Structure formats: structure tokens, C-alpha cells
Structure 1
């Protein structure tokens, strides 16, 4: 009896200590703080274990260093553009970029997101078409292929990709593949063996240091990037797996958004890959060479910034970009996201926009892939319905695209969802696009998706059952740590 009392007292004491750590040491936002306090209070021992695995704070650490890979040529270009913006001497090539100077300046000065205005962009919403184009580009590669995905499945599509990369490696093309260990947990050494034996290099991001134990489990690299010969770049929401071709019995058709880019924005995509690769690779073998950043003739006139964010960033760069876009809206906002769990700043910005007469449109899936996230999404969607926003439930399979379009003029496409995880915990990357044609194309896709979606009205939402309301409330309470 004495031992039991002593043990209980020790657990209570440790919980108090951890509570003080959460409140005073970690300096988290209030929502996350209360969520972790609730976990520690309700499940004392298990809560401590969860805290160790899921609550590290990388914002006090600097993981990526510009000088590590000695990209002196790009460094000079970045400093020159920053100097031009600070002195108000930068010469914009199109009106849309000029009209959004504040957003561009924020991304440039605080995220080193260089603006390029000579890009050509192709939009993919269908997995079969996206991977057909990607495989064709890989087939034509002559110098190098850099590939980074959150998920690479050990299935037919994954094997096709590995077989093609192995073939190119045997031809003498330098192949590097970076995957996230958690997202790609089903692949193994045998699956990668042929590529490595052919001379290709493969690395895992934040791998387990000890078998079955990974204290960085909660901080995943959610980026999806491909760079071919430094001339072509891919960025967007598609991972590698049969389900992204619409072959999953559970999800059916997979609706996503991905970009194929030619132009100087490929330099920025390449830079992002190299930084991630050198962090994951023990050899840090990629250094600046002109062949990695070849001269690129102008392919178009689309303005693009490649913006990255992650748990090591001082600021939530992609979220801040979203906020700046939302608050600049005069006519319309179109958002597609599989998860809608915004923090109070984004939710308030959308509510204010709707109350101000801006047409706010949000499209989410009508089926869950993660139950708690789904119920938390519905809870937050209700807040928008109350202020007159239009909400659409995608019925034609699963919508996974992460897009936001403002006034048919500026847009963002990438890997970041509208949720706490993408804003704070995951390593993400988005293309911020300053072009009317691309933005209108994205909105045309949204309007086509409306044809296979149902409208969620405020009346229907308010008629949901008490049990659904309970699940929403619990999920919303835990949403800062989902």
C-alpha cells in the first residue's frame, strides 16, 4: 500500500514537472499547451511517453545551413534580389507580381524565396497523367534525377519508378531518392537494392536511431519534389503509390493537384531538395556546381516563389503566406484541402473575409482517411458556414489537393494542408504563383469538381446527431496535436 501511494505521488509530481515544461519552457501556443496538459492529466504515464515522441520543439534548432552546400552563385543572386526589394528598385515583369509586392517581400526577406517571372507551368489533377509525364521526363534525363516524396509505396507504381530509376542509373545518370521514413515505412532494403547496386543513392529523412524507437517521429518531411537535369521541377500533392492512380478500393478516384515547372523556379526547387538531402545524408555529398543549376532560357512569364516551412522555422512561413493572401482578397477565395483544421488566425481571417462580402469557397472530402482529423475538420467547417461561406463535399473519391486561389490572380499549390500539422510540425513546401491564367485554371478545376460534389448547408450541419457533435468536440479539443 505504501509503495502504491509513493508511486502515485511520484507520477503526480512528474506530471506537474512536465506541465511546467510545457507551459514555461517550450513556449507553445495556448491551444497546443492546453491539449498537452489534457493528455498529461488524463493519461499520466502514457501521456509522458507520447510527449517524448510527439512534442519536441525544433524551433530552437537550426537544421539547414545555406553555407553547408556552398551555393555561392545562388547566394549572390538572393542577396541582390533582397537588396533590390529593400531599396524599392526591383523591376517587376508582370502586373500581378507588382500588385502583390508585400507578399513577395515577406516571402523573400524571411524565407529566402527568390521571385522568378520566367516560368512555364503545367497543372495535373489526375495521377495517371502526372506519372505518365514524370516517367517520360525521367526517361529523357541525361545528367541527374533528384526525387523526394513523403510516401513511396512498395506496389506496382513504386516498383515502376524504382525500375526506371535503376535503368537510368545504369546509363550513368546520377540518381538520388529521398523518402520520409514514417510515410514510406512499407519499403525495405530489398525494394531499394537494385537501384543502389546500379549506383543510385537513397536516403531516409529522420530515420530511427534505435530499432522501433524514433523520438523525431512526429516531425515528418511531407515534401514532394522532383528535379530533372536542373531544367524541370515537379511540386504538389501526389505521392507514389497505386492509390494515387485511383486504384484504392477504399478511396476510389484520387483527386490531387501537382505542378510541372520549367524556368528559374526550378533553381529554388533544387535548392530545397539539396538542403533536405544533405541533412539526411551522412556524406553531405551535394555541393554547388554549375551543372546543378544550368542556364535556363525563359519558358514563360509566370511569377513563382518556392516557400518552405517546418518545425525548425522561427515563423510559420506558408501559413503566413496564406494569411497575407486571404486578407488581400477583394472578390473571392477558393480553397481545396483534405484537412481543414486552421488555427484561430486563419479561421478569423476567413470569417472576416466572408463577413466583408468576399466569396469564400472551401472544398473538403466527404469521406475520412483519418477519423479524428475528419471530425475536427467538420467542427471548424461549421464556423465558416455560420458566416456565409460556401462549403462543398467532394463525392467523386478523395480530394487531396492543397490549393488556394485569391481573386483569380494569385494562388498557392504545394504540400501544406490547412491544419496545425502542416503549419507547425511537418516540413512542407509550396509554390506561390502570381499569374492570372494559372489561377483561373485552378479555379476552373474547382468549378468542375463542384459538379461531382454536394453542398453542405448550415441547416444540414446543424441537424447532425448528438453523437457526431460529441466526436467533433473531442477532436477539436485535440486538434492542436493531431
Structure 2
């Protein structure tokens, strides 16, 4: 049995309560001190108890602190697999004992959860679904398909290369949601959705009305929602949906999600699969915000993709495994069916990579690292959060210093303050290496894109930060096609027209308060 610091905290509190019982029992009569009016006063006894505890604490504080540090260090070394985060947590717990305890309890690693994920990994029911359903068809190959990257994703993400696909770029809420709604309306066999955040607003309610309608038509509807990202749905509303026939399940339910907003191991995927014919994934969750209806965020710039062909089975496999994890249910052949009749005639090689704490590998991070290091001409990135680990940061700076055109678009406004300042803290080092960084001015940009050498493209749900690349469950599409990559590069240049470029000299003149906030953001990002 693995020991966790959180378990030790709870055991310590329980020990205090248990050992306090005899003292309370012996002194129960002296506790009840009656006043002249007949009321019971506890003040004097409580004051004496506090003084006694403080005296004991002062006498033994060196021993308590030493035991605390040794125990915390040992447990963190056992729990953490990221050396940078290990050092950060040790500093936080050592320099801020009380506050460090609270932060670790809320945001620190949880070995029990990782054990659950490893158990889930061994019991994946649909692990070979994609391979079994692929038709016997001529394999298409060319020099653009990067064989070593393909091999890497096969090894780390069990992602088989598919060839016969189509992919459409869908920009922003006004294009994404109508396309998804049209596919849902045409569903005949099943509808499967998986989202990090579903809002109970006009957009979310419209989606659920379509799903209720399809249930009445006899189409099975299954929905996975993240219990933290979608906590505002509420139990009553969820119960109503279930009564209407929608099979909706939470992913890793937690207590008090409205307080613990940054918990680890969240399902950040956005997946829609309809009848095995079409699939959607990308940066957009479900809500009015993505139509630019949030006053603070303004226009919401995001990118989704619609996929048809062989790769639909690969995306569906991810949903099916997540459904099995949430419910333990295996679905009938009809409800896992992949329609091979509509395979596109034009080849579009791609892989679907899923990553998360259930794997020994960081598949998407490793895919990014390989893309960054094999690029010879250019690396263009769009990300809402720029908090890469040291390996990716080194890959980007080394590429830029080697003459590769490295450009990154990030937001100019914050949706999460600490991550915003953590992003800003990484700018100077990248600028010094020759990376060009641009701040998007026309609202908030939330796209997650990587393009390399005009030949290779990655689009999906993954942010360029530690939480996405190491802690959360994500899905990313890797496309190997020059024409399709150029299409996304063209949009990248249009987004650049809405940006202001960072200048290292101007950065050096920024106010001291901004420097402090960036330093705090960098420290915070190291803990996550």
C-alpha cells in the first residue's frame, strides 16, 4: 500500500481527536462552568486548553517540524515523477508549512488516482477496436509521412496510422456548433459526446434539446462530462436529463468541485462521434462564451476539426474506453459500429493520439518534442497557455537558434490569471533565442495548433502547458499532408494580422509589479 501525504494529514488530525477524548472525559465537569444566569460558558476552559497546547507546541516545535519535513520529502519523492515539480513542492512545504499543507492537499499528486488509472489501463476493453475495424485496402505512402514520428505515436499512444480520411477546419463557435448540430440531427444509430465543460446556458440547453429529440426517435445518446469542468450543470439537471433518456456520466466525480477548480486528472477532451461516420474534436467546449457572449473575454477565436474516414474509429475508441472507465459498461456491436462505406477516395494520413495519467508515456508531449526537433524550416504554434516543460522549451530555443522560423501566437488577455502570468514568464527566454511571439488582440485565442515545415500538422485539445501534457486526459490529431497543413498555415497568418509582436527590449522595461506577478506565475506553474 502506497502512503500519501494527504493520508498522513488525515491520520494526524484523527489522532488528535482520538487522544483528546480521554482529556475531555476527565474534565467534562470542569468544562461546564455555569454563570449566574444559568448559561454554560466554555471560554475559560478553552483558553486554558489553548495555552497548554501552545506551550507543548513551542517545546516540541523543532521535532515536529523536522518530522514534518522528512515525512513530506519522502512521500513527495515517492509520489512525484516530475523532478521540477518535486523541488517546487519541497520548497513550498518547507518554507510555508501551513499554507503548503493546504495547497498540497488540494492540488498535489494523488497516488491512489494513478493506481486507478493503471488498473484501468490493464482492463481497456476496446483497445483493439480500431485495428480490427480497418478495412483491407491499399496502403498509401509517400515521403511526407514521418516514419519515426509514426512509430513513436504507435509505441506511446497505441495510435495506428490511418490513410483514407478527410478533415475540415472549423473556425469559432458560429461554424463549429452548426456543423455538430447538423451531424446530430442526421444520427440514426448512436450519438457519443465527451466534453470537459458543458454550460447550462442557451447553447448548452439547445444541445440537450437536440439530444432529447434523438432519444425520442430511438437513437441511443451517451454523454461523458468532466465533473469539475461541468460542475454548474448540477445534480438536479443531470437527473432530469437521465429521466429524458440521455445516458450522461461524470468523469472522476469529486467533492466540492466549485471550490476545487484546479484539481488534477481532469478529462480535457472534446469528442463527438455520430454513427461511426463523422467525428469532431478541437478546442471548443459547449457554452455561450464560445460565441463571444462573455464581456470579459470578448470574441472567442478557436479551432475545431471535422473528420471522416478511418480515423473516426480511432477517435471513437478513445470515447469507448473512457465510457468503460466511467461505467464499466461494454456496448453492443451496433453501438460501436464504424461505417467503412464512406471512406474518402483521397488519402490523408493521420494519427489520433490520446494521453493522460493512465499511461507510462507522455505521448502528445513526446510527439511535440519530435516535431520540434525534426523541423528544418519553420514551427508555427498557437496556444492559449505557453508553459512548456524544460524539454519542449529547450527544443524550441534550440530550433530557433539553429535558424528555424519559430513563431507562437498567445492571447493578450487572461482567462486564468496565474496561467496568464506563467505564460508571460516564459516569453523572455524564448525571445532571446530568436523565437517570435505574438499577442492576439481581437479577443481571446484558444486554438491548439502546431505546424511544422508546411507538411505536418497537429490540432486538438492539448495546451502547451504541464497540466495538459502530463496531468489531464487529452486528444490530439497528427496530420501528415502538405496541402492540409498549408491551409492551417494560411489561417495562422491571418491570425498574426490580429496580433502585436513582443519585443525583448520593451520587455526589459516592463514594471516591477509585472515581473513579480510573472515570477509568482512561474512558481505556481511548477507546482501543477
TM-score, length-normalised on structure 1? 0.92
Structure 1 runs not aligned, ≥5 long: 82-89
Q: Is residue 502 of structure 2 the alignment partner of residue 456 of structure 1?
A: yes
Contact 2:449–2:459 under 8 Å retained in 1: yes
Q: Tell me what 1:278 maps to.
A: 324
Q: How big is the shift at 1:10?
A: 2.8
Q: Is residue 494 of structure 2 the alignment partner of residue 440 of structure 1?
A: no
**C-alpha spacing 1:43/1:461, structure 2 compared with 1 (3 Å):** same
Q: Tell me what 1:362 maps to.
A: 408
Worse-matched range after superposition: 183-192 or 337-346: 183-192
Contact 2:129–2:313 under 8 Å retained in 1: no
Contact 1:339–1:374 under 8 Å retained in 2: yes
Tell me how many residue pairs correspond in the alignment.
Answer: 469
Q: Tell me what 1:103 maps to.
A: 149
CA deviation map 1:101-146 (0-9, x unaligned): 0000110122110111111111112111100111011011011000
1:298 corresponds to which of 325, 338, 343: 343
Contact 1:162–1:192 under 8 Å retained in 2: no
Q: Tell me what 2:49 maps to.
A: none
- In structure 2, C-alpha distance between the alignment counterparts of 1:39 and 1:414, rounded to whole Å: 34
- In structure 1, C-alpha distance between the alignment counterparts of 2:153 and 2:166, rounded to whole Å: 21
**C-alpha spacing 1:20/1:70, structure 2 compared with 1 (3 Å):** closer
Q: How big is the shift at 1:464?
A: 0.9
Q: Tell me what 1:219 maps to.
A: 265
Q: How big is the shift at 1:43?
A: 2.9
- In structure 2, C-alpha distance between the alignment counterparts of 1:297 and 1:40, rounded to whole Å: 57
**C-alpha spacing 1:50/1:7, structure 2 compared with 1 (3 Å):** farther
Matches within 5 A, 1:199-348: 199-208=245-254, 217-281=263-327, 283-286=328-331, 292-299=337-344, 300-348=346-394
**C-alpha spacing 1:7/1:134, structure 2 compared with 1 (3 Å):** farther
**C-alpha spacing 1:291/1:429, structure 2 compared with 1 (3 Å):** closer
Q: Tell me what 2:104 maps to.
A: 51
Contact 1:206–1:216 under 8 Å retained in 2: no
Structure 2 runs not aligned, ≥5 long: 1-53
- In structure 1, C-alpha distance between the alignment counterparts of 2:369 and 2:335, rounded to whole Å: 36
**C-alpha spacing 1:38/1:296, structure 2 compared with 1 (3 Å):** farther
SS of the aligned residue for 2:267 comes to coil
2:141 corresponds to which of 86, 93, 98: 93
CA deviation map 1:242-293 (0-9, x unaligned): 0011111011110111100001100011000011111112x42435558522
SS of the aligned residue for 1:148 comes to strand
Contact 1:169–1:195 under 8 Å retained in 2: no
Q: Tell me what 2:203 maps to.
A: 157
**C-alpha spacing 1:210/1:258, structure 2 compared with 1 (3 Å):** closer
Q: How big is the shift at 1:221?
A: 0.4
Q: Is residue 445 of structure 2 the alignment partner of residue 399 of structure 1?
A: yes
- In structure 2, C-alpha distance between the alignment counterparts of 1:131 and 1:335, rounded to whole Å: 24
Q: How big is the shift at 1:64?
A: 3.2
- In structure 1, C-alpha distance between the alignment counterparts of 2:241 and 2:257, rounded to whole Å: 24
- In structure 1, C-alpha distance between the alignment counterparts of 2:338 and 2:393, rounded to whole Å: 40
Q: Tell me what 1:138 maps to.
A: 184
Q: Tell me what 1:62 maps to.
A: 118
Worse-matched range after superposition: 184-193 or 69-78: 69-78
**C-alpha spacing 1:76/1:164, structure 2 compared with 1 (3 Å):** closer
Contact 1:71–1:287 under 8 Å retained in 2: no
Q: How big is the shift at 1:418?
A: 0.7
**C-alpha spacing 1:353/1:59, structure 2 compared with 1 (3 Å):** farther
Q: Is residue 468 of structure 2 the alignment partner of residue 422 of structure 1?
A: yes
TM-score, length-normalised on structure 2? 0.84
**C-alpha spacing 1:210/1:11, structure 2 compared with 1 (3 Å):** farther
Q: How big is the shift at 1:219?
A: 1.3
Contact 1:376–1:479 under 8 Å retained in 2: yes
2:520 corresponds to which of 455, 468, 474: 474
Contact 1:385–1:458 under 8 Å retained in 2: yes
- In structure 2, C-alpha distance between the alignment counterparts of 1:191 and 1:37, rounded to whole Å: 42
SS of the aligned residue for 1:302 comes to coil
- In structure 2, C-alpha distance between the alignment counterparts of 1:223 and 1:211, rounded to whole Å: 18
Contact 2:228–2:257 under 8 Å retained in 1: no
